[in-house]
Amino acid sequence: MSQVLRITEQRRVVSQAADFGRVAVLYGGKSAEREVSLDTGKAVLGALLARGVDAVGWDPAEHALSDLAAAGFDRIWIALHGPGGEDGAIQGALQWLGLPYTGSGVMASALAMDKVRSKRVFDAAGIPTPDYAIVRNRSHAVLAAEDFGYPLILKPACQGSSVGMTKVFDPDDLNGAVDLALSFDDVAIVERCIVGDEYTVAVLQGEALPSIRIETPRVFYDYRAKYESDRTRYHCPGTGSDDREQQYAALALAAFAELGCSGWGRVDFMTGSDGQPLVLEVNTVPGMTSHSLVPMAAKTFGIDFEELCWRILETSFADNAVHDHVEGVAHGA
């Protein structure tokens, strides 16, 4: 049985708003998830201001990084989604500028954003994930479809919020799905379609929050189901038993740790035909909108939205995550 990592993270408790200093909430940006990022950032900014934090909003699409460096901020709350915000780019820039920031570091952010490389890490660690194939053109997708059959999932390798993602039911729709995915990225992946329940588990300062089971009337949990639909249903806790909650929590923490993530994030799952969870991906800057999952899980855990934003801001202090090898976590042991 393979060994996987578990993350042990010591919370740095901040009791006074003044201890954070002057905070910039980075939101907006130039990715395909700009509108979601604006919603996230405005909600976070409002919560921090309500708690007395000296915070301002900052849109990198409208201001240069040199302006950020000269503005006298003490730390950064990253609310940027997608490329440029979750892929290690802004993390590297902030690190170079000497500005502490929330969430995962450069390498972990880059790995989590890249679905191909994160799956390779999961495979090497023995963390179960759906079968997949790399796609750079239509021919690659045809070969993958011959192997996996229909339906299948096709998505860009480095996008979030289901941007560019398609559930393909027959060969007639395959080329269009490939073209859509590759319009966002040079590489896409075809994933074996898992017919089962979809779950997500948020991670906050080394703890797994209660799972959420997602029900959508749409073909899959796509962008509209996530951010626009009022017909999507959420069940929290989602698993129905303590043993299952522990299984999902352990697997979420293992996936989070194997990528080197820290601070906060969210791990998404599908349940296979055998009832066992399969990790889809890790999100290092999940949404914080009115429809978002992390605030739902936190509320069930007894953490309101303002406190959640405060605790995420606490993660901008020195990284104190410790990764321990644990045997069998990925197999539900």
Residues marked active site are found at 33, 161, 227, 266, 268, 281, 283, 287
3-state percent helix, strand, coil for the chain, nearest multiple of 5: 35, 25, 40
C-alpha separations of 3 from 61, 258, 276, 326 in Å? 42, 10, 18, 6
User: Dihedral, CA atoms, 82, 85, 88, 89, nearest 10 degrees?
Assistant: 110
**Backbone phi, then psi, for 119, in 5-degree steps?**
-65, -35
Query: Do 330 and 3 contact (CB within 8 A), yes or no?
Result: no
Residue type, 18: A
Instruction: Show Cβ contacts of residue 66 under 8 Å, excluding neighbours closer than 6 positions.
Output: none
- 277: preceding bond cis by omega (within 30 degrees): no
The distance of Cα 182 from the centroid of its chain, to the nearest Å, equals 21
User: Dihedral, CA atoms, 251, 255, 256, 258, nearest 10 degrees?
Assistant: 130
